Amino acid sequence: MPKSPRIRIPPEVRKYVHQRDNYQCQSCNQTHHDTHLTIDHIIPLARGGTNDISNLQTLCLTCNQQKKDKIDPRFRRYFES
């Protein structure tokens, strides 16, 4: 599967994703008061994921670094055959 190109996520999209996710890491539930939050691709671009807003989630920096280019295990059942 071809790798999707990496694009800069616009500030308004970042804000929307953080608001949608209640400013909480979707893996460990830390909030923006506790840690630095980032935007992550649920299905990594390197694995055929898209830049679509439905493929973005809020993760803290620690969880994002641990996830790397793996598919989020909570969503794995949707993408394995």
Looking at the whole model, is its pTM more than 0.75?
yes
Other C-beta atoms lying within 10 Å of the C-beta of residue 70? 12
When divided into structural domains, the chain yields a total of 1
Q: Is 3 left (phi over 0), alpha (psi -120 to 50) or beta?
A: beta
Residue 3 domain-assigned (yes or no)? no
Q: Range of 59's domain?
A: 11-79
**Predicted pLDDT at 71:** 78
DSSP for residue 43: S
CA distances (Å), origin 15, targets 6, 51, 52, 62, 80: 19, 15, 15, 20, 30
Q: Is the pLDDT of residue 61 over 80?
A: yes
Question: Which CATH number is 27's domain given?
Answer: 1.10.30.50
- Which amino acid belongs to residue 49? G
Q: Can you say how many angstroms the Cα of residue 39 is from the centroid of all Cα atoms in its chain?
A: 5
Please report whether residue 6 resides in a domain.
no
Amino acid 17: pLDDT: 96
